[in-house]
């Protein structure tokens, strides 16, 4: 979970800094952070952003390692500008993809610690 928080510091998105780490057994298989797609910099549309979860998932898909997601655990952490963490429960766009990729468990930060969902 700490590694997901460290990953969130890489985010330059002004509204939210979210980091994601995907593990299988005790091995980290991918990391990601939220970002604005360069082609959409001039627009403020939500669709122009890439969520941390999808950044981490896409890295595995692009490198032909999609099968490794089966049975994996996803850690998502949102760091707040004032310090501490915020709620990082995967959104309604990311969740169905997480399900489809057969990720079995999601651990996400909250304002007071963390919580988890069994997928």
Binding-site ranges for Zn ion (CB under 5 A): 51, 91, 93-94
> CA 23 from chain center: how many Å?
12
Is 30 within 8 Å of 22 (Cβ atoms)? yes
For Zn ion, give the closer residue by CB, 61 or 91. Answer: 91
Q: How far is the C-alpha of 110 from the C-alpha of 30, rounded, in Å?
A: 22
> Residue 83 gets which letter from DSSP?
S
Least distance in Å: CB of 26 to Zn ion?
26
Residue with smaller CB distance to Zn ion, 33 or 51:
51
Contacts of 30 (CB under 8 A, 6+ apart): 21, 22, 56, 57, 59, 60
CB of 53 to Zn ion, least distance (A): 6
Closer Cβ to Zn ion, 26 or 51, answer by number? 51
Phi, psi of 109, deg, nearest 5: -75, 155
Q: In the complex, what is the shortest distance from the CB of residue 52 to Zn ion, in angstroms, rounded to a whole number?
A: 8
Q: Are strands 49-50 and 35-36 parallel, antiparallel or unpaired?
A: antiparallel
Name the minimum Å distance from CB 59 to Zn ion: 15
């Amino acid at each position: 979970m700490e590694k997901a928080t460290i990953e969130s510091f890489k985010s330059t998105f002004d509204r939210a800094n979210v980091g994601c780490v995907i593990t299988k057994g005790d091995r980290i298989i991918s990391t990601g952070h939220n970002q604005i797609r360069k082609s959409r910099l001039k627009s403020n549309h939500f669709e122009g952003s890439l969520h941390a979860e999808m950044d981490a998932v896409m890295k595995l898909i692009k490198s032909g390692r999609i099968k490794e997601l089966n049975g994996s655990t996803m850690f998502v952490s949102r760091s707040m500008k004032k310090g501490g963490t915020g709620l990082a429960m995967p959104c309604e766009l990311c969740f169905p993809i997480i399900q489809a990729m057969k990720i079995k468990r999601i651990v996400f930060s909250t304002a007071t610690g963390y919580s988890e969902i069994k997928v």
